[in-house]
Amino acid sequence: MKKVVLILSIIFIFLACDNSQNGKAENSLILNLGGEPDSIDPQLTTGISGGTVDDLIMEGLLRKNKEGESVAGIAKTWSVSPDGLKWTFNLRDAKWSNGDPITANDFRAGWIRALDPKTAAENAGVLFMIKNGEEFNSGKVKEEEVGIKVIDEKTLEVELDTPTAYFDDLVTFKAYMPLNEKFYKEQGDKYFTKPEYTLSSGPYLLKSWKHDSELIFEKNPTYWDASNVKVENITLKLITDSKAALSSFKNGELDVVGLTVEQLA
């Protein structure tokens, strides 16, 4: 039986739930994203739509569980120094969707790109608690002075300016996603502008993007936790009119619809 629930509360639920008993021919889910994403580039996106897309195709060191707690993602374990200034993340054997291993350097590359003043990322501020992060962003120090150190392929050490107990929450933010430098350089300005220019570290692959219509996702077979991803296909419709979205839901064209305050009244 279909339920009318708010869009932001259902993506996570369906990622972990079996959708095979709802009478569908396929194990799939159709939702309404609303507006077109401003960007789906993890280091650049600031909107809800772009962030939702990245929740499907990207995963960082840690991820959120259904209670909103930070749990192991690509990092299988992590520790904090007694003074709270150094965080060490130990990566599992995870792969990008092209088969490349995800390494500690991929995280350093993504974070440095977000902080680089040339990137002009609006959300760079979420990395300013990293030692010399703000100074690098303002051009006062070199990238080598930023407190992000690759110990080896599977170990990343991060030094903070001040103890930040919620840093495990911050590393789930989009600006903290990894970046495959080789792939990024090959795509250039096309990076994350079309499905063929995206690379996934998360549970889904972006297979199609019809602007002002829909985005289609398929389960990522290389994702380290693929066995626990039960929904094979997700379609995100781009319906900006709330009445049209509700009508689509009533007609069986959406599995879930987000409601306005007026519609909830």
Domain boundaries, the chain: 1-34+203-265, 41-46+61-187
Which of 27-36, 87-96, 168-177, 178-187 shows the lowest per-residue confidence on average (mean pLDDT)?
27-36
CA neighbor of 143 nearest in space, from 180, 176, 112: 112
What confidence category does residue 83 fall into, taking pLDDT thresholds of 50, 70 and 90? very high
244-263 per-residue burial string, b: 16 or more CB within 10 A, e: under 16: ebbebbeeeebbbbbbeeee
- pLDDT at res. 254: 85
CATH number of the 41-46+61-187 domain: 3.90.76.10
More confident residue, 156 or 2: 156
Phi/psi of residue 203, nearest 5 degrees? -75, -15
Mean pLDDT of 89-107: 99
Higher pLDDT, 135 or 231: 135
Closest alpha carbon to 41 in 27, 26, 57: 57
pLDDT tens sequence across 48-67: 999 999 999 999 999 998 88
Q: In which band, very low, low, confident or very high, does the pLDDT at 39 lie, cut at 50, 70 and 90?
A: very high
The dotted CATH code for 1-34+203-265 is: 3.40.190.10
Better pLDDT: 122 or 6? 122
Cα–Cα nearest to 44, from 120, 126, 133: 120
What was the pLDDT predicted at 2?
35
Percentage of the chain beyond pLDDT 70 is 87
Q: Is the pLDDT of residue 37 over 60?
A: yes
CB pairs under 8 A, 24+ apart, for 214-221?
214/238, 215/33, 215/53, 217/56, 217/57, 220/57, 220/97
Q: What is the pLDDT of residues 145-187, one digit of tens each?
A: 999 999 999 999 999 999 999 999 999 999 999 999 999 999 9
Please give the average per-residue pLDDT across 187-211, as a whole number.
Answer: 98
Residue 248, pLDDT score: 85
